[in-house]
Every structure is written in structure tokens, then in C-alpha cells.
Amino acid sequence: MAQMVTITPADWQRLWQALQVAPPEERYFVALQEYYTAPERAYHTLTHIAECLAHLAAVTPLAEHAAALQAAIWFHDVIYDPRRHDNEAASAAWAATVLQSVGVSTATIGTIQQFIEDTAHRHPPRSPDGALLVDIDLTILGAPSNRFAQYETQIRHEYAWVPWPTYCQRRADLLQQFLERPTIYQTALFQDRFEDQARRNLKRSIHRLYREA
């Protein structure tokens, strides 16, 4: 199994240094940690945030708004309820509250909110930076097969309230939508690194899910 990536308070401090503002009140970091460590979560946790931040660090020279992307990663899954259909919008609104509290500009907040809403993966991202972010968010699809299998188990945990046959059908349908895209990843860099493995992972998982539905 891959080594677990973790988040530290120093990482949180680096976000605000990148945005060139003072950190917000401690209660916001406490609340963020409580959201990401809720017992019903298995994948959408601080580990996911840490993994995304690590991927961003590797491609930061390609980003026009690197600090805004960093903020979007921190906040993009802060509100996560599988029963809701507005998680990204709700996360963007919560992010705005925190960002406004320390005087981040309206324009920058708008950019961060746009990035967060791009991670809904319902529409093509609206900027090159948005493309980087959605690719980072989807790197798990192109992970080594054992890590991808762990991810699938984690997602099932988050949807434990859905009956197994129904879950299998809906999950397979969702993964099939990604597989039917001309490319899963938006950028050449991520296509080169993750596309082939992602397609292998998806095909294997779809086959298993349809068989068990």
C-alpha cells in the first residue's frame, strides 16, 4: 500500500502565506478538520487533500493562479454529503466565508469558487488552471490497481446507505461515463501519466460492478 500522505498545521499556514494574507481565526481550521474527519467519510478526507496538494506542487510552474488553486484544493470537499447534489457550491460558499474574513479580494475569491465548482466534473473546466485542478482531483482513477481498489472500497463506505445492487449499477454507470470520454484527463501532462492506467482501472471495476449488480 502507498505511504499515507498527511496534512499538518504548517500546510495550512503555507496556504495563507501563498495568498499573502494573515491566517483566519483558529476556529475555521478546527471546523475544516472536523468536516474532513467525519466518521462517514472514507475517501474525501484530509488524506485526499494532502494527495492533491502534492500533485499541485509538482505542476505549480504550469499554473497561472497557483495560490488560488491551492485554496480550491483545501476547500473543494469541505462540504461532502453523498445525498446532496450541491456539495461543490456549498463548499465554495463556505470557502468564501473564510476567505472574506481575512480580506482576500473579491476577484480572487471568485476565481477560487470557480475552481471548486469545476471539481463537480459535470462540465468542462472553464480555464487552463481549472483543467489542472480537475486532473489533479481525478488522479486517483489512474492510481496503481491496489490503490484504486482501496479507493473503490472507500467510496462504497461513503455510500453504505445505498442497497448493494443499486450501488453497483449506479457506480458502474458513473465510471462508464468517464471511460466514454475522448480523454479522461484534460491536460497532456496528466494524460501521459495517468490515462492508460485509469482506463484499465475503470474497465476492471465496471466489469465487476455490472456482474454484481
Residues 89 and 68 in one domain: yes
Least confident interval from 1-10, 32-41, 47-56, 59-68:
1-10
Distance CA 18, CA 25 (A): 17
- Show the cell assigned to 87: 456539495
Does some domain include residue 204? yes
Domain total of the chain: 2
Residues 14 and 88 in one domain: yes
Residues 123 and 147 in one domain: no
pLDDT for position 2: 40
Q: What percent of the chain has pLDDT over 70?
A: 98
Q: Are 36 and 116 in contact (CB under 8 A)?
A: no
Residues 98 and 190 in one domain: no
Q: Domain of 204?
A: 140-212
Distance CA 75, CA 36 (A): 10
Q: Are 131 and 187 in contact (CB under 8 A)?
A: yes
pLDDT tens-place string over residues 73-118: 999 999 999 999 999 999 999 999 999 999 999 999 999 999 999 9
Q: Are 82 and 159 in contact (CB under 8 A)?
A: yes
Q: Which of 139, 141, 150 is nearest to 55 (CA)?
A: 139
Q: How confident is the model at residue 24 (pLDDT cuts 50, 70, 90)?
A: very high
Residue 4 has pLDDT above 70, yes or no: no
Does some domain include residue 2? no
Does some domain include residue 43? yes
SS (H, E, C) 45-90: CHHHHHHHHHHHHHHHHHCCCHHHHHHHHHHCCCCCCCCCCCHHHH
pLDDT for position 161: 96
Q: How confident is the model at residue 7 (pLDDT cuts 50, 70, 90)?
A: confident
Residues 150 and 123 in one domain: no
- Averaged over 137-153, what is the pLDDT? 98
Question: Which of 127, 157, 176 lies at the terminal end of a domain, its last residue?
Answer: 127
| Residues in contact with 153: Cβ distance below 8 Å, sequence separation at least 6, in sequence order | 42
pLDDT tens-place string over residues 183-194: 999 999 999 999
- Averaged over 16-35, what is the pLDDT? 97
Residues 61 and 149 in one domain: no
